[in-house]
Structure 1
């Protein structure tokens, strides 16, 4: 964690206060009830005490007694008694001494301070700095600006006279603007010396970020052996930092993990991370067949640049050395089950009704060693949303166009240019519904012509064969859109905290006809464009929607949201040779009655006896200190069926529990289960977690977090993430 600064420089301030007293206070002052204000070059000094006396003679002593309070600017000194020797510069503050310097606070039974040399001693003192740092000692010798030598010191971030944990040191040096380090240290939990002796101790106590080593982690893995992680945080500048971690696995090798974060301006920022390991200690019989042998790694880069309010540049890059490295070294299930390592580079500009997006897509398929990737370098899209035709009242138009250069190892690659404009004429009918006839065309250019198919040498998959041939597929389309909208508002009168509920019914139907020429022998890059042929169909849907509005309280605005939605849709194929003209019935549902419960789902049902073809549902709920979620995803065609669930609960004030599960219902196995406990107090926390993976590493993780010091712990059977 970034270290935190502590400034406790009271020497110059106290010196100024004392010199103000020496030079400006009269020879004898009787007890005063009102504060005494002295105007000096550095500002006003206010002195308040039950009694202020000037004692003459060789000692020339100034004494303030009873509820002494001296303030100057942001500083304030409190004590029961303050004595100042005007000749030697020695000042002694006694009796519950408290000195405030901005956010810092120092307390002690007595402070001896030489106003001329800037040195002094704090007896039985403690230094406190926001938000939680505390350093105390039997004797604290001030040897410089904010620098102390401490005898029999205690360092902690816990509150109270008897902290839950602390580091005790025989001798230490504390730079309150930097760090504390000492010798002959011990770590105590309450009154128990959990670690009786450590030869050396150091901790950062700055408020600002500071370079330095973070607490290491260690553990053991059933596949990777004993391992250790030693992280180093590098505060490069106010806008840059990095964390570099040396990682060693006794059954794998030595690796390094790093993350670099930067902010170039308010409009430009990003982060880069990577992991590299040389598996020189790994048993060759256990090593997967990877192209780089012993060298394996992961790299990612994200960069966001808002060039202008309408122009943006983004990079989201992910690269792996092989198909298995994420599966073996990923910490979360979503990392271990990732199917693609994808790199996207976007440059976009938008107008009020138009957008231009350039994209480079390059990815690595992690599910198969076959070279099935279809790269797009680049893809340029120009789109115009539905908008009025200039000079023609009532007529609208929209445009979809793209240019793509496809690159791949197996199968046809090449260029494709697609242009798809359409015009619309909305016609309201008696204020009940709207008919919108439309006409359009599509011209798609290819520089390849498919001449056949073959079985690829790698993997045996069927691929197209093509030859260079410039050709244009030409299509004309037309149809009619029909839509309506019926709504009614119900006054709820505050029932359930609702002021009103709106019910909307939105039926919609679209008849589409497409005819064309030169529609055969097309390379199949993208089915949404390349598979379009002769079309005659009607798509119909009905949407039921419920919108809600809460009762607005005093000086509050009402909250509006979509409480429920149900969409049913289907397509009917009008072509005479269609075997099964009625397509799957599709449904999409949303339910969000309040902030505690939510449901989202979709499904597709085959009407020719095949039943449910695809479905997905997710449910979330929370009540007081318990939150839970469950979901399932099913696809009959691919054979994919998973069930996921998670629950988290605050069992007591200091104990939280959580569990996450993922079940592959198609195979009847649990992919991953996680169970965890979090025990937390004011200044420390313990996390326990057990992870069970199917045919993979099981882990037991244990970590301790000391407030202000970061995390220490072990992972039994753990990977690196």
Structure 2
């Protein structure tokens, strides 16, 4: 093997990376939609980042410009400062660029390299191969005939008839293809393939233009565009996004094609014309902005003439946050719909977690840090749109509106000698929404003050926290109370002591070194009785009785109710943690409350004469990597039975294998069983054959991938029916993934909406159809996305 070092002297700047490799961006983005890959490296993503534009550097450093050219070959012949010929395994290297060929000639004066026979260019794991190449090395100008290419970033590649490198920023390709599938038979097309008649790339303007783009799936064209433009790299570009469709039992088929409008680096919009088979034509729109002092988004969905209801249907939403004068911060969140049954007809069109209770919430606050503690001023305006049902039995109670809420809060958590203190003052005006349930509820104003002074003593193994607090409120009502008054006030003081210990010892179970703890805790509360029966209740609600709330000094959340108390809570818990990695293997706990006198103000509205509260038991175990168990039980000794319980079991022996079972009981109210899962049914994943799974991940054209079942079923034992269900199948062929999911959700006592979701994911290109991934993640604990990073997989040949 002979080696020759040639020093180059040109000052021209080479391209930003190997310009032919820009074809990866071109073909990966040149799908049937000019705005694919907004802010991402894949086509069809629904996440498009808006941000202030960053500086773009296209040239390399001076040191890189003067890199020498190194030639290796079995035979070398050279004329000084003119031409060098390399035969037999010729290799030309310059920096991180490697050019290989059977024969190669390099003209030093013109910087022209001519390569023939098994030509390949490699850089950063990306590879181009072909029969013949002419290339001016430093300025990257030339022509590559019939190249094949492979991109390490996503394990995809393709072919082209010809690639022309015009200069360091511009290039073009004829008859290019792109796919992440490897054909089992060289004479057969891969499972899916993107083809274009021609592509032109311009890195100065960050734009590419493709003519005649077609996506074929098993030879069948599924998407096409005569001409499209797209961004090169991570930029955003206006244009059409992949189509979306939805299918449910109330509206039929909904089909829409989004158009992405890149207004400015900090502003964009998406407009989606759509057609719903049973209802008519509509338009969904979203506008996003990111300005120096504020940011947010606005959405508006309109169905001008719903053929079923005979009137216009709409929904709009606004979310904005920012800063105003004098360092005030504000936030606006609002959502409204046209009618009460919108949540039934268009469940995917409402973003609120409470689809029948839509908020308009405006808030502002400012924080100061005086010499002691922190001071915060705030204001809020909260309104509700309540979506009531025509069935009186299905109507919902509505919360009060705050119009407005004004307050000041001072807190000091670290005063000298372990003291802490806080004081909160607040004014509220409470009224009811327009279509509130017809109940005789009072409205009016409330001024309240909450304060506390605490003291913390202790060390690493114990603590003692005495605390004094008060709750004071004054009311001015629009209606008369039972005794004829329209104003009232009260002050309720509270004293509490929280005492706890932490004991530890090292031990060994199951052949593992463990740390075992014993954690006793006492919590005493003394609150005198203050009559609150005739006072309004604007925001107080019963706390859930659990391991957290039992260690609090009030059985109510909110301000308007304070439970009287002379009680002691006794609890103990124990944990086993691994000394090797700190993971918790086992937790057990028991806690109970002792009343020293009857409690007259209770969430139930009747005095509590039970000296011993219900016993709470808690347990969780993770004794093996595959099994998890959790449980909580509320046991009533007077009834000698369990009144509430939650038991769950999870089995997950490996990736994409999880089964969750949960049982919930609230005696006299509900009893439910829930089952959720993700599990392979057949194929390489079902056999857990890692080598086969990696082999399939490189792609293939035959239907020999892995089938998965996913689902969640919620069964009401009290009603003896399935209330909500989600069942689907996923097929992973390595280079493409198919999903079919059916969701059935109750919308009333005798009503339900069934929704079908279909998605085809072409790995390395994008996802087409209705996206069920968020639904699967939200409903199936432990669900994992089938798509994995293909960059680390074997670089399958596309020759």
Please say if residues 462 and 502 of structure 2, whose CA atoms lie closer than 8 Å, have aligned partners that are also in contact: no
1:249 aligns with 2:276: yes
SS of residue matched to 1:326: helix
| Aligned equivalents of 1:641, 1:41: Cα separation in 2 | 71
Please say if residues 578 and 585 of structure 2, whose CA atoms lie closer than 8 Å, have aligned partners that are also in contact: no
Distance apart, 1:375 and its partner CA: 0.9
> 351, 356, 371: which one pairs with 2:376?
356
| Aligned equivalents of 2:133, 2:745: Cα separation in 1 | 61
Distance apart, 1:344 and its partner CA: 4.1
1:475 aligns with 2:524: no
Q: 1:240 to 1:646 in 2, by over 3 A?
A: farther
Distance apart, 1:707 and its partner CA: 1.7
Distance apart, 1:353 and its partner CA: 5.6
Structure 1-normalised TM-score? 0.73
> 134, 144, 153: which one pairs with 1:112?
134
Distance apart, 1:65 and its partner CA: 2.8
| Aligned equivalents of 2:644, 2:63: Cα separation in 1 | 82
Structure 2-normalised TM-score? 0.67
Distance apart, 1:249 and its partner CA: 0.5
Task: State which structure, 1 or 2, has the greater radius of gyration over its C-alpha atoms.
Answer: 1
Distance apart, 1:419 and its partner CA: 1.7
Distance apart, 1:685 and its partner CA: 0.8
1:202-243 CA-partner distances (Å, limit 9, x unpaired): 695843143232221346544323431212334555555554
Q: Which residue matches 1:47?
A: 70
Q: 1:56 to 1:585 in 2, by over 3 A?
A: closer
> 723, 729, 733: which one pairs with 1:681?
733
Q: Which residue matches 2:197?
A: 171
SS of residue matched to 1:49: strand
1:207 aligns with 2:233: yes
> 1, 9, 18: which one pairs with 2:19?
9
SS of residue matched to 1:696: strand
Bigger share in strand: 1
Q: 1:622 to 1:707 in 2, by over 3 A?
A: same
Q: Which residue matches 2:578?
A: 550
Please say if residues 570 and 585 of structure 1, whose CA atoms lie closer than 8 Å, have aligned partners that are also in contact: no
Please say if residues 83 and 93 of structure 1, whose CA atoms lie closer than 8 Å, have aligned partners that are also in contact: yes
| Aligned equivalents of 1:536, 1:116: Cα separation in 2 | 84
Distance apart, 1:361 and its partner CA: 3.1
| Aligned equivalents of 1:68, 1:179: Cα separation in 2 | 34
| Aligned equivalents of 1:618, 1:306: Cα separation in 2 | 48
Q: Which residue matches 1:523?
A: 536
Stretch deviating more after TM superposition (619-628 or 80-89): 80-89
Q: Which residue matches 2:449?
A: 419
1:171-221 CA-partner distances (Å, limit 9, x unpaired): 3235386556344957253xxx33499684769584314323222134654
Please say if residues 689 and 700 of structure 1, whose CA atoms lie closer than 8 Å, have aligned partners that are also in contact: yes
Distance apart, 1:491 and its partner CA: 1.7
1:123 aligns with 2:149: no
1:583-620 CA-partner distances (Å, limit 9, x unpaired): 85263635243565555555656666596655555554
| Aligned equivalents of 2:320, 2:193: Cα separation in 1 | 40
1:627 aligns with 2:658: yes
| Aligned equivalents of 2:727, 2:514: Cα separation in 1 | 42
| Aligned equivalents of 2:351, 2:647: Cα separation in 1 | 18
Stretch deviating more after TM superposition (591-600 or 681-690): 591-600
SS of residue matched to 2:538: coil
| Aligned equivalents of 2:201, 2:610: Cα separation in 1 | 78
1:711 aligns with 2:767: yes
Please say if residues 185 and 199 of structure 1, whose CA atoms lie closer than 8 Å, have aligned partners that are also in contact: yes
SS of residue matched to 2:339: coil
Distance apart, 1:506 and its partner CA: 1.3
Q: CA RMSD in A?
A: 4.9
Q: Which residue matches 2:314?
A: 296
> 620, 623, 639: which one pairs with 1:591?
620
| Aligned equivalents of 2:234, 2:213: Cα separation in 1 | 28
Q: Which residue matches 2:521?
A: 506
| Aligned equivalents of 1:427, 1:134: Cα separation in 2 | 66
Q: In the TM superposition, what are the counterparts of 1:629-668 in structure 2 within 5 Å?
A: 629-635=660-666, 639-651=669-681, 652=685, 653=693, 654-668=706-720
1:72 aligns with 2:94: yes
Structure 2 unpaired stretches of 5+: 1-14, 22-61, 390-394, 541-555, 686-692, 694-705, 779-799
Distance apart, 1:432 and its partner CA: 10
> 166, 169, 181: which one pairs with 1:158?
181
Structure 1 unpaired stretches of 5+: 12-38, 288-292, 454-464
Q: 1:692 to 1:580 in 2, by over 3 A?
A: closer
Distance apart, 1:673 and its partner CA: 1.6
1:34-91 CA-partner distances (Å, limit 9, x unpaired): xxxxx9994131322234434699xx75423334333334433332322356899875
SS of residue matched to 2:257: strand
Q: Which residue matches 1:375?
A: 401
Distance apart, 1:687 and its partner CA: 0.9
Q: Which residue matches 1:462?
A: none
| Aligned equivalents of 2:388, 2:631: Cα separation in 1 | 27
| Aligned equivalents of 1:632, 1:333: Cα separation in 2 | 29
| Aligned equivalents of 2:658, 2:150: Cα separation in 1 | 38
Q: Which residue matches 1:16?
A: none
Q: 1:280 to 1:55 in 2, by over 3 A?
A: same
SS of residue matched to 2:181: coil
Q: Which residue matches 1:63?
A: 85
Structure number with higher relative contact order (C-alpha < 8 Å, ≥ 6 residues apart) = 2
> 259, 273, 283: which one pairs with 2:308?
283
Q: 1:158 to 1:307 in 2, by over 3 A?
A: farther
1:223 aligns with 2:260: no
> 85, 91, 114: which one pairs with 1:92?
114
SS of residue matched to 1:157: coil
